[in-house]
Structure 1
Amino acid sequence: MKNFRYPFMVLLGGAMYGTMSSFVRLIYSYGYNAAEIAFSQALLAALFLGILLSVSNFRAAKTPLSRRDLFSLLLTGGIIGITNFLYYQSVSYISASLAIVILMQFTWFSLLLEWVVFGQQPGKAEGITVIFILIGTVMAGDLLHAKELSFSWQGIVLALASSLTYAIYIVANSRVRKDVKWQSKSTLIMVGSAVTIFIVNAKTILVSNHFGYDFLGWAIFLAVVGTTIPTALFAVGIPHIGAGASSILMTIEFPVAVICAHIVLKESVSPLQIGGIVVMLAAIAAMNYYKSLKTSKEI
């Protein structure tokens, strides 16, 4: 059970992220834009995590943070902030189904980065799991039978860029100062996220915003469910299980997104999509079962 704790944290964080696409599309109908949504999410999450950090009795780390460590954590936050903004922007140009399928490519992006940059070659279990996840992703996207798909090179590039930055975030989160307490790590990550989003979108945020009580309610919901809790879960779980396994577990975001779209946006779910979701979940479960058996034998 102890070995499953950290994978479960990453799995839960990915599932919570998966609900966001439906709610963001719903919020778009009220006239809000990607910049103010992404910025408010990150800013409020940084505030909530900062308050939690201030009332906790935990020290930031076993050893003090150097300027390099501080910069690395803020940069990691900047990466996830850009990921959210790019993905929110992509759904303005292409369908949500196509955007989420492209985003899911972070799975093999993460494994490739670990292999190329750090020489950590993925095992057979990870490789086979990725193949089945890609098959399940195409099935769950049901792209071949979709009646309306808006293809835009700009949207595709934005979604692909968000997939790559998502993979970089996972790899960075798995390696940057593992000894830092999750309260401090997640707070610094979200501060970096908010600052980066603001720098990139300062004009839009300051001039074309719709900040008010109605927007604040949505912003708090998105910040808590889609940012604060997942960021804390990832800060704890990812360093313990690594980038490769984390990227695979986080593909739970896609089936959750499909189910949430059906519930929140009343989008239809075809038998092919249900089959794809089953394939993905079965692949994830099989990989974790295999790795747990391998770990128990080593012990």
Structure 2
Amino acid sequence: MKNIKYIFMVLLGGTMYGTMASFVKLLYSKGFNAAELAFWQAFLAALFLGICTFATRKANKGKLSHKDWLPLLLTGSTIGLTNFLYYESVSYIPASLAIVILMQFTWFSLLLEWIIFTRKPSRFEFLTVFFILIGTAMVGKLFETEEWAFSIKGITLALSSSLTYAIYIIANGRIGKGVRWQSKSMVIMIGSSICIFMINGGTIIAGSHFSGGFLIWVIFLAIVGTTIPTALFATSISKIGAGISSILMTVELPIAILCARIILKEQISPLQIAGIIIMLASILAMNYHKLLKSRK
């Protein structure tokens, strides 16, 4: 019964992440841009997590040391880039396609671990990558030549966000292991906001969107898209394990597709639905295979 609670927490966090692209694309119609949305989301999340860190400062275990700051800030820069590139991509391509491309981080992670840590993927992992790519091609309508009206820039941005997300996942799993999740998440979000500002400072400063409506939306993005999922994952993943959690977090894909259909009224063909199912099954199989290997 206790594990069910933590399973629900991971599912809830993945669900919250999955809604973000549709809301961001909706906000573009109000005149907001990716740079200011990604920056203020990260900045406010860092503030909220900072308050949480201060409120729990008496905890003796896992305190943040000076040597932890730079690696965590750099880790934060990768998730900052991920959010900005992902948000920017949905201004060029459908949100449903952007999330499918973002999910390519699964095989990007395998590739990076192979290059950096010389951990060669197994035959089964190679096979699942093949099916992930087939599913992606189906969702992107690459088999329907008359439908090739997608934006190369949007695809490139989404692929770049997928790569930086893979880097973030690998770095986050290896850096700051002994640091409390409140402090670790706070510094990561500080690094995220700094990175976004360094790239888009002029756009952010020039932005005139400081109305009450804008503030409400960025608070919503910061809380629902960052702060709460971070707290849920930090509390639950250590209880049920990274393997099971990675399987559960694939809920982000169908939720994102569903939100794009409901909120943005994006049309999804039977071929695309089939591609999504193939992708989801392949990602689940890959993560389950990793889980079995880790238990041997």
State the TM bucket, normalised to the shorter chain: 0.7 to 0.9
Q: Secondary structure at the match of 2:91?
A: coil
2:205 corresponds to 1:206 = yes
Q: Which residue of 1 aligns with 2:136?
A: 137
| Cα pair 1:94 1:152 within 8 Å, conserved | yes
2:15 corresponds to 1:15 = yes
In structure 1, runs of 5+ residues without a counterpart are: none
| Cα pair 1:90 1:99 within 8 Å, conserved | yes
Shift, 1:76, TM fit:
0.8
| Cα pair 2:35 2:84 within 8 Å, conserved | yes
User: 2: distance between equivalents of 1:93 and 1:60?
Assistant: 48
Question: Normalization by structure 1: what TM-score?
Answer: 0.82
**Structure-to-structure mapping, 1:53-132, within 5 angstroms:** 53-56=53-56, 59=59, 61-62=61-62, 64-67=64-67, 69-123=68-122, 126-132=125-131
Amino acid at match of 1:185: K
Shift, 1:172, TM fit:
0.5
Q: Which residue of 2 aligns with 1:225?
A: 224
Amino acid at match of 1:38: A
Question: Normalization by structure 2: what TM-score?
Answer: 0.83
Q: For the structure 1 residues 147 and 96, does the alpha-carbon distance in structure 2 shift closer, same or farther, using more than 3 Å as the test?
A: farther
Shift, 1:123, TM fit:
4.3
Q: For the structure 1 residues 156 and 202, does the alpha-carbon distance in structure 2 shift closer, same or farther, using more than 3 Å as the test?
A: same
User: 1: distance between equivalents of 2:174 and 2:203?
Assistant: 34
Q: Which residue of 2 aligns with 1:191?
A: 190
Q: Which has the higher mean CA deviation after the structures are superposed, 77-86 or 154-163?
A: 154-163
Amino acid at match of 1:99: A
Shift, 1:7, TM fit:
7.6
User: 1: distance between equivalents of 2:278 and 2:7?
Assistant: 19
User: 1: distance between equivalents of 2:79 and 2:2?
Assistant: 28
Question: RMSD in angstroms over aligned alpha carbons?
Answer: 3.3
Q: For the structure 1 residues 178 and 11, does the alpha-carbon distance in structure 2 shift closer, same or farther, using more than 3 Å as the test?
A: farther
| Number of equivalenced pairs | 294
| Cα pair 2:81 2:192 within 8 Å, conserved | yes
Q: Which residue of 2 aligns with 1:44?
A: 44
| Cα pair 1:38 1:81 within 8 Å, conserved | yes
Q: For the structure 1 residues 106 and 176, does the alpha-carbon distance in structure 2 shift closer, same or farther, using more than 3 Å as the test?
A: same
Residues 65-116 of structure 1, C-alpha deviation per residue, up to 9 Å, x if partnerless?
Answer: 233x211111111110111111222233344444334322211111111121
Q: For the structure 1 residues 27 and 149, does the alpha-carbon distance in structure 2 shift closer, same or farther, using more than 3 Å as the test?
A: farther
Q: Which residue of 2 aligns with 1:216?
A: 215
| Cα pair 1:15 1:256 within 8 Å, conserved | yes
2:218 corresponds to 1:241 = no
2:148 corresponds to 1:177 = no
Amino acid at match of 1:228: T
State, as a whole percentage, how many aligned pairs show the same letter: 62
Q: For the structure 1 residues 295 and 32, does the alpha-carbon distance in structure 2 shift closer, same or farther, using more than 3 Å as the test?
A: closer
Q: For the structure 1 residues 109 and 235, does the alpha-carbon distance in structure 2 shift closer, same or farther, using more than 3 Å as the test?
A: farther
User: 2: distance between equivalents of 1:162 and 1:241?
Assistant: 22
Amino acid at match of 2:175: V
Q: Which has the higher mean CA deviation after the structures are superposed, 89-98 or 201-210?
A: 89-98
Residues 244-275 of structure 1, C-alpha deviation per residue, up to 9 Å, x if partnerless?
Answer: x8777655433222111111112233333333
User: 2: distance between equivalents of 1:121 and 1:2?
Assistant: 36
| Cα pair 1:249 1:284 within 8 Å, conserved | no
Amino acid at match of 1:90: S
